[in-house]
Structure 1
């Protein structure tokens, strides 16, 4: 089939529009792409596991220069390693990150803070296609509450901060336009794996459907165990009856002995803790002996065995974690050599993301007010599989 024919059936993974009231480019059709994606990942056990492993390997063992990794970078006491950890988590989820930098009166960087990537939006392009500011809001869903009040999504509650440009003449002009250093908001280094000032599409996006399916399969398994009817059987017995008469000789119904039905019994027959119970049903007809009716519950797990396996495999594959999937399903053994090869393989997968972060830290600390990294080495120590050492005790 031709590509032109397929375009009718395919849709853009990320719709970008403009929100004129806020002066920003929307991140997704409803401006909530990162928030929705984060919810999908969090609800999928397999997706969460893969993203966490992805973030761990991007972070590695931290910066190779230990003294720099322990260097304090802001007034809160965060170290370079603390900021690096947060950055790696954002890259793993969204393929992007943002850092806020503050300057002194001499145009030197004196502080950096991590900004959650999902809180950032790009300003509208000007006539030259340039994006000059990053819009930052604490919660674009509009649900966050402070001091008992909802933080509205409007310009009043949104910070518009200049994009990162450390040239001193630019910084001086921004400080002057802000009315002095005390009013200056600094700059934001906004980094995207998709390119300069372009919204990135997460690696997890390619398996968003599979991760949502993974959540649905977990719900089916939960309801199958917790909410399914699993009594071993039902005993049908005869109910005796007694008839009383009123003053006029009319029979009086025995309401106290009437069966109230199954409404009160249903809760006592659902779930794993009530499996194997017997259900007794009393009838008014004249059976000679009790009747036992076998009740077989429906097991839905078998219906989704193939779907479950294929979903998990695709999620692992999307994150390049096939070695761990093969170990999980038993295709590979669980030896130290295999795990060591898996670590080496995955370090090559995350090298591009590591270089992107290294270059960004270098851009900032080249303009730091003092020498924070004398080695000028911002590379990351890769994770290595550590074998359990055999310790022999001499008796």
Structure 2
């Protein structure tokens, strides 16, 4: 017996000499690829949106939610939290731009699109002091790459960076990089293990769409005796062709506008003199195997939901009336379970927000905590 060794695809982070950054995969397009796979999969996109909501909960209270934490962008605290949560859910990492003032307080902060950011050179201690930012990493020009210092709140470090930049008016601030895979240079996306399932779901939809749009499904086949005979004069041939077109148009009109599949007209010789022997109308049935697609789609959907911290399928789509029985207790239990399943990510999000608020010039005394999406069950009466 022979053992077949299968090469498992692995995300690599090689050094890119042309851009002076550590590439995120060999083509440096891993974040964009994962984001596209999520957006093309209805299950992954829905699951990501639900998980983001569970990280934020009901917000941090109306007053705190509406606090403007970046005046230049008119960015509210709740919108910043949503941006951070979105990258933590999809990419399992986030890059946050932090600006400081001359009092060494955080003046404002905002999320940089994850796809724009790469890690720069490391020193002898394997420490990367710069984050490279570029909107396009396929073939980047060095003039389009902006280097910003890595987040470090120490006054001596900030002071040295400001002096090197030529003063506060030229200082670009810092970038806080939150990496949920601490052993890796860049985190693996949440869908890394189910990337093929996301792709399969998207392609199943494309396949069915092409069958419906370009296949024979729904077509009506009309077979008749030859409508144009042989040996006709030019004028007689033109008249016969005109009659053929009128006949075929009449057939299509008679089948009605609801016949969206179209009509295929075929002429061939028949034996016999009966009308049934002269014309045949046949509906071409669908070749889509609904049972096969149902099994495949159910399988990939379940795999994708597991990748999003075991998201209960009932929170994504519910067709079972039993789930709403017992005063909706089944749904409430799913919500409570998923609230627990997302504790780690929610705590990380809350910690990042409070860390920045604590160093802020305007909100240093503020500490926030997300409001639960579902209230705890009331205690039993004694």
Identify the residue that residue 129 of structure 2 maps to in structure 1: 132
- 1:315 aligned to 2:312? no
Name which of 89, 109, 114 aligns with 1:112: 109
Query: Contact 1:174–1:184 (CA<8 Å) still a contact in 2?
Result: yes
Query: Contact 2:312–2:338 (CA<8 Å) still a contact in 1?
Result: no
The alpha carbon displacement at 1:170 in A equals 0.7
The gaps in structure 1 that reach 5 residues or longer are 143-152, 246-250, 388-395
Identify the residue that residue 183 of structure 1 maps to in structure 2: 170
Query: Contact 2:151–2:175 (CA<8 Å) still a contact in 1?
Result: yes
Identify the residue that residue 208 of structure 2 maps to in structure 1: 221
Give the whole-Å Cα distance in 1 for the aligned partners of 2:12 and 2:311.
Answer: 28
Structure in which a larger fraction of residues adopt helix:
2
How many residue pairs align between the two structures? 359
Summarize the Cα distance change of 1:226–1:23 in structure 2 as closer, same or farther, 3 Å threshold: same
The alpha carbon displacement at 1:77 in A equals 1.9
| Alignment map for 1:126-205 (pairs within 5 Å) | 126-141=123-138, 153-195=140-182, 198-205=185-192
Superposed CA offset, 1:241-274 (max 9, x none): 37467xxxxx99946746999xx99xx89xx953
Give the whole-Å Cα distance in 2 for the aligned partners of 1:23 and 1:141.
Answer: 14
Give the whole-Å Cα distance in 2 for the aligned partners of 1:108 and 1:197.
Answer: 31
Give the whole-Å Cα distance in 1 for the aligned partners of 2:179 and 2:138.
Answer: 22
RMSD value, Cα: 3.3
Query: Contact 1:240–1:284 (CA<8 Å) still a contact in 2?
Result: no
Give the whole-Å Cα distance in 2 for the aligned partners of 1:301 and 1:168.
Answer: 66
Give the whole-Å Cα distance in 2 for the aligned partners of 1:383 and 1:154.
Answer: 46
Identify the residue that residue 68 of structure 2 maps to in structure 1: 72
Superposed CA offset, 1:306-338 (max 9, x none): 212211221122221135279736496234211
Secondary structure of the structure 2 residue equivalent to 1:191 = strand
Identify the residue that residue 248 of structure 1 maps to in structure 2: none
For normalisation by structure 2, the TM-score amounts to 0.83
Q: Which moved more, 1:49-58 or 1:289-298?
A: 289-298
Give the whole-Å Cα distance in 2 for the aligned partners of 1:240 and 1:170.
Answer: 91
The alpha carbon displacement at 1:208 in A equals 0.8
Query: Contact 1:323–1:342 (CA<8 Å) still a contact in 2?
Result: no
The gaps in structure 2 that reach 5 residues or longer are 378-382
Superposed CA offset, 1:160-215 (max 9, x none): 10010011111101000001111110001110111288311121111110110001
Identify the residue that residue 381 of structure 1 maps to in structure 2: 371
- 1:362 aligned to 2:354? yes
- 1:21 aligned to 2:18? yes
Identify the residue that residue 52 of structure 2 maps to in structure 1: 55
Secondary structure of the structure 1 residue equivalent to 2:201 = helix
Query: Contact 1:60–1:382 (CA<8 Å) still a contact in 2?
Result: yes
| Alignment map for 1:228-307 (pairs within 5 Å) | 228-229=215-216, 230-241=218-229, 243=231, 254=237, 257=240, 273-275=258-260, 279-283=264-268, 288=273, 289-292=277-280, 294-302=282-290, 303-307=292-296
The alpha carbon displacement at 1:38 in A equals 0.8
Q: Which moved more, 1:325-334 or 1:213-222?
A: 325-334
Name which of 335, 344, 349 aligns with 1:352: 344
Give the whole-Å Cα distance in 1 for the aligned partners of 2:232 and 2:186.
Answer: 81
Give the whole-Å Cα distance in 2 for the aligned partners of 1:116 and 1:192.
Answer: 14
For normalisation by structure 1, the TM-score amounts to 0.80
